[in-house]
Amino acid sequence: MPRYRFSDFTVSPRTRLFVRSGRELPLIPRYFDLLVFLIEHRHEAVHRRDIFDRVWSDIIVSDSALSQAIRTLRRTLGDDSREPRFIRTVSRHGYRFVCADVIEEEDDDDAWPAPTASAPAVLAHGDGNVDAFEPLLERLTRVPLSASDEDDRREAAEILHTLGTSEALQRLGTRPGHAIARALLRDARWELPEACEVPILGSPAPFAVARALVALRLRRVARMVAVRWVGASAGGGLAGVAAGVAGGAILAAAPGSAAPIAVAPVLAVIGGACGAIGGAGVGAGLSVAEAVARSRRGAALVGGAALGGGLVGVAAQWMARWMLLALVGVRLDVGGGLEGLAIGAAAGAGYAVATRRTHDGLAAPRGRRRLRAAAPIAVLCGLAALAVTLGGRPLVGGTVHEIAKAARGSQVTLAPLGRLIGEPDFGPVSRAIIGAGEGALFGLGLALGLMRRPTTAEPPSGTSHQTLTEP
């Protein structure tokens, strides 16, 4: 790997060091990757789409993530967006590294002076006697009137972190607008290696700060959350259709079964509807939790998925009982709430394990990595479904069997499947196998739908690839 020298900076991709005059400048890994990418392609204007595909290839981030990254790089380089020496914005396209005196040293194995202790980003604060905190705090607590005002507040939060997080929090106090200001400081700290903790518990108005932080993060990624929610619902629905078709075909072919082959599409519709509803609930809980939680992410994912699954389970349970009683006069103890809670929690735990290295966006691995990430979700959902079934709570297949038994003349009892396994009826072993299979297939479909990376369409002529505020 070559290393690059320009002005008084040195960038070493091999050792992942960014140095200015012998002092290391801290950058989070993705911002370092962005800087290297721009330098490597310094002879061309790099499209925003290409930057997202290269630097954020394994996650989906909000449109403002790139603007924030460029703003941080410019501040670290001591650059000015109005008269750029290093990074220039190319209108309606992307960015270009414009420094003309880049020296590319092909051999980065040669010894070079070890960097001294990390130094904060270079900031222009003017006269040392001027209070640098107060103007920034005023910008941070100002009520925004436009998107540019939102970006100005974000930039003020980032600079305050470089000056000193603790001092900024102490000076902020309880002045008007302090809750949203603390939320901004807490959200910005993840992008700055030198930032300190911004606690919520123990701070003035902790509930207001938490509410502001959730609203801030959801507002930034609302569109992506909606897309992932739809994907999770579609994935769960397709898994249900597949399970219904396979189960119906096996049932129709089983010895001694009176079920016609037409039962397969019927079970496919039932399975698809149940899978889509379950996927919508669990997917919504997972998407919202991943969007708003960066600390204690695992607990948030488990809780969000369990809550989403439980809520749609209760709704489906009430609706199924009412429809059975009203339409066919069958009073049956149909489950839903507990099952949704258990399988949702398992899906959240599997997702947390599969994406444990993701902290700065919504996980969207590609290719085989996507299948590897889906595997623990499918396994844990299958185990949760098995536990629920062994506890006497039937899932979709078991519920269909109970309804068929309660309705006279039905041909879709699952007793032939039990006899295939070696039981005289649809017994506990049959229920466990069918239930575990349902849960595993649901988890697989949910995961693949949730983590699907949206395709990037080319923007219409005269518009940018993504809605970005120029930093």
Q: What are 219-238's pLDDT values in tens digits?
A: 888 888 999 999 999 999 99
Task: Evaluate whether residue 122 is within a structural domain.
Answer: no
CA 389 to CA 129: how far, in whole Å? 71
Could you tell me if 357 and 372 are in contact, meaning their C-beta atoms sit under 8 angstroms apart?
no
pLDDT at residue 177, as a whole number = 92
Task: Evaluate whether residue 457 is within a structural domain.
Answer: no
Expressed in percent and rounded to 5, the helix, strand and coil fractions of the chain are 60, 5, 35
Partners of residue 24 on adjacent β-strands? 19
pLDDT at residue 458, as a whole number = 41
CA 17 to CA 305: how far, in whole Å? 39
Task: Evaluate whether residue 332 is within a structural domain.
Answer: yes
Contacts of 353 (CB under 8 A, 6+ apart): 376, 380
Bridge-based pairing state of the strands 362-363 and 17-20: unpaired
Residues 181, 254: one domain?
Answer: no
Angle between helices 396-406 and 263-292 (to 10 degrees): 140
Residues 325, 382: one domain?
Answer: yes
Residues 314, 434: one domain?
Answer: yes
- Tell me: pLDDT of 119 over 50: no
pLDDT at residue 357, as a whole number = 83
Could you tell me if 156 and 177 are in contact, meaning their C-beta atoms sit under 8 angstroms apart?
no
- Tell me: pLDDT of 99 over 90: yes
Task: Evaluate whether residue 245 is within a structural domain.
Answer: yes
pLDDT at residue 326, as a whole number = 73
Question: What value does the mean pLDDT take over residues 420-448?
Answer: 91
DSSP conformational letter for 116? B
Q: How confident is the model at residue 109 (pLDDT cuts 50, 70, 90)?
A: low
pLDDT at residue 147, as a whole number = 78
Residue 7 φ/ψ region, left for φ over 0, alpha for ψ in the -120 to 50 degree band, beta for the rest: left
Task: Evaluate whether residue 110 is within a structural domain.
Answer: no
Task: Evaluate whether residue 92 is within a structural domain.
Answer: yes
Residues 382, 296: one domain?
Answer: yes
Residues 350, 386: one domain?
Answer: yes
Weakest-pLDDT range from 207-216, 267-276, 412-421:
412-421
- Tell me: pLDDT of 130 over 80: no
Residues 143, 70: one domain?
Answer: no
Residues 194, 338: one domain?
Answer: no
Residues 145, 254: one domain?
Answer: no
Question: What value does the mean pLDDT take over residues 64-90?
Answer: 91
What is the torsional sign of CA 190, 196, 199, 205? negative
- Cα Rg of the chain, angstroms: 28
- Tell me: pLDDT of 108 over 70: no
CA 91 to CA 321: how far, in whole Å? 58
Domain that holds residue 345: 222-450
Residues 236, 200: one domain?
Answer: no
Number of domains in the chain: 3
pLDDT tens for residues 274-324? 999 999 999 999 999 999 998 889 999 999 999 999 999 999 888 887 877
Please name the residue ranges forming H helices in 130-205.
133-141, 147-172, 178-188
CA 388 to CA 338: how far, in whole Å? 8
Task: Evaluate whether residue 117 is within a structural domain.
Answer: no
Residues 359, 300: one domain?
Answer: yes
Task: Evaluate whether residue 118 is within a structural domain.
Answer: no
Bridge-based pairing state of the strands 3-6 and 87-90: unpaired
Question: What value does the mean pLDDT take over residues 82-92?
Answer: 92
Query: Cβ of 264: how many Cβ atoms within 10 Å?
Result: 19
CA 263 to CA 244: how far, in whole Å? 9
pLDDT at residue 408, as a whole number = 67
The torsion angles phi and psi of 438, rounded to 5 degrees, stand at: -60, -45
Q: Which two tokens stand for residue 188?
A: 């910005």
The pLDDT > 90 percentage for the chain reads 52
Residues 150, 98: one domain?
Answer: no
Residues 171, 231: one domain?
Answer: no
CA 150 to CA 443: how far, in whole Å? 39
Residue 8 CA neighbour count, 13 Å, CB half: 10
CA 372 to CA 400: how far, in whole Å? 32
Question: What value does the mean pLDDT take over residues 25-40?
Answer: 94
DSSP conformational letter for 363? E
On average, the pLDDT of the chain sits at 86
Which parts of 13-151 are beta strand (E)? Answer: 17-20, 23-24, 46-47, 59-60, 87-90, 94-97, 103-105
Among 204, 235, 253, give the residue marking a domain's end: 204
